[in-house]
Amino acid sequence: MLRLWSKVIAFLAKIFGVGTIPPEVANSDTLITSYWDIYAAKAPWIPYSFVTADGIHRKRNRLTLNPAKIVCAELAGLVLSEPPAVDAGDLVAQVIQDEKFFGNLRRYTEYQAALGGQAIKARVEDGNIKLDFVTALNVIPIASDNRAVTEASFIDRRTNGKDSFVRVETYRRIPGGYRVTSQAFDEKTQLEVPMDTLWPGILPSVDIAIDEAPFVYIANPEANNIDPESPLGISIFANATDTLQGLDIAYDSMKTEIIMGKQRVALPGIVMRKYLDQDSGTYKLGFDPSDEAYIRLESDDADNLKPTDLSGQLRMEQWRQAIQIYLEMLAMQTGFDAGYFSFDGKSMKTATEVISENSHTYKTVSAYRDVLNDGLMHLFRVINKLGKLYGIDGADSGVPMITWDDGIIEDRNTRTKYHEDLYAAGLEDRITAIKAIHGLDDAKAQAMAEAIKADKAVVTDPFGIGG
């Protein structure tokens, strides 16, 4: 699937009407698939070959901490630690609920961090608005302006038995709206096939009379220093691949040293005995550890009979420090504070303390929220416009409102303790504290306060969080 781009070059040539693929498409193929390989713990430095003492070439895969996955997952968790409040009308609220929107958004925001971007398409199916989340692996931008990608193709791959098929769905501007065309191809022969092979009910061409693209491409906020002309974003770890490689090599070396550091004892040749190897039928030298007391030795030199311990000293602390240095570098290169990632000798850990407003982590999270906010504003406008166009109830013509939690990012226990202390000191009223702790609006916070009062909550548990 990851190498799908090279197989659709012929398809794209037909779509674009040219014999060659635009440079940004060819470049994105290499970049995005390499990002995915690293994120999926299949980086090019994982497999390697070496020559053993007997002169034999051998291959193995390095062990990995998979730090790229950890960085992307941590960022997505911070960005969407609490979903924003959305006020965009009843239709948008229904779509958010039906499509499990914020759960999917958190997952695809992790993919976005890894791959440089994500796309969300809005469409009408059986009188309802449906959303399709698409990774950057399957998005090919065709046209863009200073604000966003305005035309694009999306790749959808499906299998039928042993046969694989690809659908290329293209969104193009036309006077008065957008035209959505779909073509299906046999992945092996690269020949066009009827759409109903695996996509029954999808029309080859549909015109949509709305003035905004019925999709949104959300790029990472980092400047693309690899291809500044491309509308595609770059991975959060695009400029940290050397550090990721160093981390995996250090971690694998540490684990290898544990294996190689097991006890080794050199025995004098005189205590070795010949035995018949049943598998090969030949005689070999060996030592029988079952001889508990007496064995016959022919030597008058006592020193020649002493075993020698060849076990080396493990350098665990040195390896741990080396890995920690790499983690400090990784944090700096990916927009986190120094010390945010740590290694305890077993696994990679992340910080749980309060993140201040002036920290690098806070600024990185805010930047990702900003690009998500712009993308969601576009998406919610499109949902309402499609609702009006197709006569779906609940469509709203107002401007969508998205409210993120502007408080400092912190863990829930720290936030709870903070507001408990303010309430106990008389510096904050109960309703305000409940709103902050539980993320409620005024009405729901008031209802909770009354419920707590009815239950005769004690002073030591004024917010109903004990128990």
Evaluate if residue 427 carries a pLDDT over 70: yes
Structure tokens at 186: 């046999």
Alpha carbons 232 and 141: distance in angstroms, whole number: 8
pTM, entire model:
0.74
Q: What residue type is assigned to position 126 of the chain?
A: D
- The Cα-based distances of 157 to 47, 51, 236, 461 in angstroms read 28, 41, 27, 54
Residues 365, 367, 373, 379, CA torsion sign: negative
The residue count of the chain comes to 467
Least confident of 36-40, 134-138, 319-323: 319-323
* C-alpha torsion angle, residues 52, 58, 59, 61 (rounded to 10): -30
**358-396 pLDDT, tens digit each:** 789 999 999 999 999 999 999 999 999 999 999 999 999
Closest CA to 135 of 159, 157, 154, 158: 154
Closest CA to 119 of 107, 130, 135, 103: 135
Structure tokens at 246: 């160093």
Closest CA to 415 of 345, 342, 354, 324: 354
**63-94 pLDDT, tens digit each:** 898 999 999 999 999 999 889 999 999 999 99
Which residues does 174 contact at the CB level (< 8 Å), separation at least 6? 207
**126-136 pLDDT, tens digit each:** 999 999 999 99
Structure tokens at 211: 């003035």
